[in-house]
Each structure stands twice: as structure tokens, then as C-alpha cells.
Amino acid sequence: MKRRLLAIAVSGVGLAAAVYAPVSAATAPADSAKTRFTCSAGHVTAPAGTEVESVTADLLPAGTFQVPGEPPLGGYPVPDVPARCEVTVTLTHPGADDHATVRVWLPRSGWNGRFQALGGSAYAAGDSGGGLAAAIQQGYAAATTDAGVGGALDTSWALNDSGQVDTALLENFADRSQHEMALVGKEVIADVYSKAASYSYWNGCSTGGRQGYMEAQRHPDDFDGILANAPAVNWNQFEVASLWPQVVMNEKRTYPSSCEFNAFNQAAVKACDGLDGIKDGLIGDPGRCDYDPRKLIGTKVVCDGAQTTITAADAAVVRKIWDGPRSTSGKRLWYGLPIGASFDYLAASTGTDGTVHGVPFLVPSAWVSTFVKKQPSFDTSKLTYAQFEKIFRQARAEYDDVIGTADPDLSAFRDSGGKLLTWHGGADQLIPTAGTVDYRERVERAMGGSKRVDDFYRLFLAPGTAHCALSGKTDDLAALTAWVEDGKAPDTLPATLTNAGGETVERDLCRYPKVSRHTGRDAADGFRCIPAARH
């Protein structure tokens, strides 16, 4: 049975864990069955600015692959992985004392003639093995890189012995190693199969989504198609902005419980659910949802068996978190948590006996403490509004050119014939959906409007969907290959959504700037795509 990777947000961590779900594999090029296969450590040309330290090749048998690491991100088996050649290439940049590993998996038989590169999550630059296994089950030759850095929550590499950011490793993580992996992966494929891949694809979500956008922006010839979902673009804005809920709670000395936060989300969904023409537990057009959390003041809710009353201070916290970070003068700095998205990650707190303090989410906290402040022990739970604004501007000044991934000029990617496909959940609790919309609109302004941009870049918004939680619930890669290879641009993206009541809902996602609007006919089939409210 063919299977593909399903990335889900893991409670308390918010990273991509691997689960598998059956899907249909894309049709292979007609001549793929005639491909020769030779698993050997052949010559690898060093990409510009690098040296090849080592090349190894191992022929691995079919069977169950145990993904390394601890659950839920690792430590689980992937059954039915085909026999494959694993080629491992280690690169270094002279003078940098770095060691970036590229892993390429190539199925012994049934290669579909395509190359798939796999992105990472949080601070991990690449895949730990689950994605590689899923890709070769579909017939792809696949590659990933560790960029010479650590795992998803490992930033021990960030500072050198002088306490300054290791610029070589940061450049690897931000951009350089993904491009070099693309070059090495293609060469290894051509060597093992004695023919080049017919098409090359990028596949990533979150950090992997950001990497895909960076490839389109800086290395437009690397891939024919880029699948970049819930992308961590506008890196400095959203990473620092992810601490805004902690700043608000600290300044207001108010820390609503998870149960109280959920009450606000439930009220908002109830108020805005029908704006798309049907009550189905989903906010179909978030741009039209203007629910005011002050409406909940005085409402009694039961949390952990005890009754509590929503206060004006609770509502003020929620209102500022939804609104998003602003400067001390009131100017918007970035977007807030989407209405309906879980507060559990960015607005977590803990305490006993009346003493409560915030618990910042690990990924943005590490970015601010280690990369911006260069003090890993810096306490991001105690930030004031003034400190936050200063850090926000400092991060942009220092790192936008390195890892911002916000360049709207995709003309080179367009001219190369590349196609970029993205979906983003409307209830993403880690990366504001509005930031991806903001980027898309800047591309439109830079490149001649929505219709021209749609020729090579399409964005789909998934109502009620959390971070990377649509993976495995839509055949996005098949839609991308059909666009690249057959010229069939996706106008809608069929998907399985989960509404506020936990029920599954089948829905065709509309390409931005359109949203689904129910026409009043059959509940399942009565939708049409209409222009969305602009952010």
C-alpha cells in the first residue's frame, strides 16, 4: 500500500510528528521501469564554496524502518519501506568548521522518475527519516539535509565560543544547505539511475515551508514545483510576535486558564460560524469575523469542576492577543493569533497558590534569547511592551537579510517555469495565517496583480485548521505534480477538515483571494468560491 507523511502539531511542542495515511501515488513517467540501478559511492561534485568530506552508499533491505528519536517526533516504526540505496554526503565550507550531511534515499525498483526534497521543522533543517520513507513508498528518490545543526528544539549550535552567533551555521540553516542538498541530490540520482530526474519537487511545512519559499526566492532553478505549507516566512516578525501573548499577560498581570481561553474561542466560533452561509463549526471567512471578546465579560464557565467568571481583564488580554503586537505608539508591528486558534501554545502559564507566571513557547523564546539577545538564559516571560518593541526591531535589523524569507520578487522563479503551491490553516496556533496572506499580497503588488501571480503561485486557506494539521488530509502533492507536469492549475483543493465539534467536514478549499460561501442548497455541495475580505 502506498502511504504518505502526515504532519501534525504535537501538544506542548508544536512540531511535525510523523503519522501515515494511505493516498494514491502520482503516475510515473512512462520510461521509469527501464531505469538502471547502481548503488555506489560515486564521485560527487562539491557545490560552489564547499568541499566534499565523505560519500558513502549502503543498500538497505525492504522492511520496517524505525524513525530515530523520542516519541512523538521519533521512535515509531514505518512499515513496508521498499529496498533502497542510501547515499550520505558530508559537506563543509572551508574556514567554517561545519559538517552538513545530505541523505539521499533511492528506491531499488519502481522509481517514478522524480526527485523530492524534504524540509525540516522548528530548528531542524531536515527530515529524520519518516518523510524519506514516505517519499520512496510513493516511488520518489528523496533527499534531506541536517545543515550541520541540531534537532527541532536544539539551538546549542547558535553561539560560538565568543558568545556571538555562528554566522556560518545560521547561513546553513537559513538557506545555503537546502540549495546544496538540491544540487547534490540531483547528482546522486543521476549517478545511481544513470539518468537525471524528470522533475524535482520541494515538500515542507512550517520551517520546511519557509525553506521552500527561500528556494523560490533565491534559487529559482532548483525545483520545478514547491509545496510549502504553513510557511514560516516573515521569520523575525512572526517569531518575535509569538511572544506577544506572554508580554500582554505579563503587563496586565492576568493569566487566563486554558479553559477560559477556550471559552473565548467557542464564543467567537459560535458568533462567526454562519458568516459563510452555513452553521458547520468552521469560521469560513476570518476576515469578516469581528467578534469582540468583551461580550463574554460576566459569563460563568466551569473549569476543572469549579465555576469561574470571565472578567474584564481576561477579555482585555484576549483582545490584545487577537489584535497582535503593536508599538508603544499604537502602530501595528505584526499579526496576532487567529481567532479560533488554540491559546495553549503561545499563552501558556503555570503556577500554584495564587502565584502564576507565563510559559513562553520554546521556539520563539529560543530565537529571542539566543539569537537576538545572545543570552540563552534570558527570561522571555518577563518582557514589557517597550522591551518587546526594541527586540522586534533589533531582530529585523540583524536577521531579515539572512532568514527573513520575505522577498516578494518571484520573477526569476516564474520565468524558470516553477510552480508554488501553499495551504495554510485558518486556526494556525503557531504561525499567523495573516502573515502568509500579507506575503501573497505583497507578491501581487510587486508582480502585477492576483491573476498574473496565480499563473505560478497559488495559496489555499483551510478553515478551522491548526498548524500543519491538513497534511495527509488533502492530496496537495498530486495537485502540484498535475500543475507542473500537465499544466492543470488547481482552482480548488479538496480537503478533509475538522470543525469545532471534532467532526470531519469535506470541503473544497478555494484559491486565495476567494473563500467558500454556502448557497443554501445541499449542505455538502452548496458551496461556491467568492472573493474574501482582504486583511
pLDDT in tens, 76-113: 899 999 999 999 999 999 999 999 999 999 999 999 99
Which pLDDT belongs to residue 305? 92
According to DSSP, residue 452 is labeled H
Q: How confident is the model at residue 353 (pLDDT cuts 50, 70, 90)?
A: confident
- The whole-angstrom separation of Cα 255 and Cα 245 is 10
Q: Range with the lowest mean pLDDT among 27-36, 91-100, 499-508? A: 27-36
CB 266 within 8 A of CB 500: yes
Per the prediction, the chain carries an average pLDDT of 92
Decide if 535 is catalytic: no
Sort residue 396 into left (φ over 0), alpha (ψ -120 to 50) or beta.
Answer: alpha
Which pLDDT belongs to residue 268? 97
134/73: higher pLDDT:
134
Mean pLDDT, residues 34-57 taken together: 93
Mean pLDDT, residues 338-365 taken together: 95
Which pLDDT belongs to residue 354? 78
Long-range contacts of 481-487 (CB under 8 A, 24+ apart): 481/26, 481/114, 481/199, 481/201, 481/225, 483/225, 483/419, 483/421, 484/199, 484/201, 484/224, 484/225, 484/419, 485/199
Residue type, 223: F
Residue 366's nearest CA partner among 74, 159, 147 is 159
Which pLDDT belongs to residue 230? 98
Reported residue count of the chain is 535
Element housing 479 (H / E): helix 476-486
Q: How confident is the model at residue 72 (pLDDT cuts 50, 70, 90)?
A: low
Which pLDDT belongs to residue 74? 79
Measured in Å, how far apart are the chain's first and last C-alpha atoms? Answer: 43
**Which among 428, 438, 476, 518 is annotated as catalytic?**
428
**Residue 43: CB atoms within 10 Å:** 8
Decide if 377 is catalytic: no
Which pLDDT belongs to residue 511? 96
Mean pLDDT, residues 116-131 taken together: 96
Element housing 302 (H / E): strand 300-303
Residue 242's nearest CA partner among 512, 406, 467, 73 is 467
Which pLDDT belongs to residue 521? 64
Which pLDDT belongs to residue 75? 86
Q: At what angle do helices 312-323 and 258-272 cross, to 10 degrees?
A: 70
Q: Range with the lowest mean pLDDT among 322-331, 468-477, 513-522? A: 513-522
CB 483 within 8 A of CB 419: yes
Q: How confident is the model at residue 522 (pLDDT cuts 50, 70, 90)?
A: low
DSSP letters spanning 135-173: HHHTT-EEEEE-TT---TT--TTSB-TTSSB-HHHHHII
**Which among 177, 206, 369, 471 is annotated as catalytic?**
206
Domains and CATH numbers, the chain: 3-235+402-482 (3.40.50.1820), 238-399 (no CATH)
Q: How confident is the model at residue 12 (pLDDT cuts 50, 70, 90)?
A: very low
Q: How confident is the model at residue 336 (pLDDT cuts 50, 70, 90)?
A: very high
**Which among 365, 467, 476, 518 is annotated as catalytic?**
467
Which pLDDT belongs to residue 19? 39
Q: Is the dihedral of CA 177, 182, 188, 192 positive or negative?
A: positive
pLDDT in tens, 271-323: 999 998 899 999 988 888 999 999 999 999 999 999 999 999 999 999 999 99
Q: Tell me the range of 14-23, 167-176, 353-362 where mean pLDDT is highest.
A: 167-176
pLDDT in tens, 426-456: 999 999 999 999 999 999 999 999 889 999 9
CB 284 within 8 A of CB 515: yes
Q: How confident is the model at residue 417 (pLDDT cuts 50, 70, 90)?
A: very high
pLDDT in tens, 207-223: 999 999 999 999 999 99
Q: How far is CA 418 from CA 67, 225, 443, in A?
A: 32, 6, 15
Which pLDDT belongs to residue 3? 30
Element housing 389 (H / E): helix 385-403
Which pLDDT belongs to residue 117? 98
Long-range contacts of 490-496 (CB under 8 A, 24+ apart): 490/421, 490/458, 490/460, 491/529, 492/460, 492/529, 493/423, 493/460, 495/423, 495/462, 495/470
Q: How far is CA 407 from CA 245, 316, 411, 443, 518, in A?
A: 27, 35, 11, 8, 36
Decide if 486 is catalytic: no
Q: How confident is the model at residue 42 (pLDDT cuts 50, 70, 90)?
A: confident
Is residue 10 pLDDT above 60, yes or no? no
CB 462 within 8 A of CB 497: yes
pLDDT in tens, 372-410: 999 999 999 999 999 999 999 999 999 999 999 999 999
Residue 522 makes CB contacts below 8 A (sequence gap 6+) with none
- The whole-angstrom separation of Cα 297 and Cα 285 is 25
Which pLDDT belongs to residue 219? 98
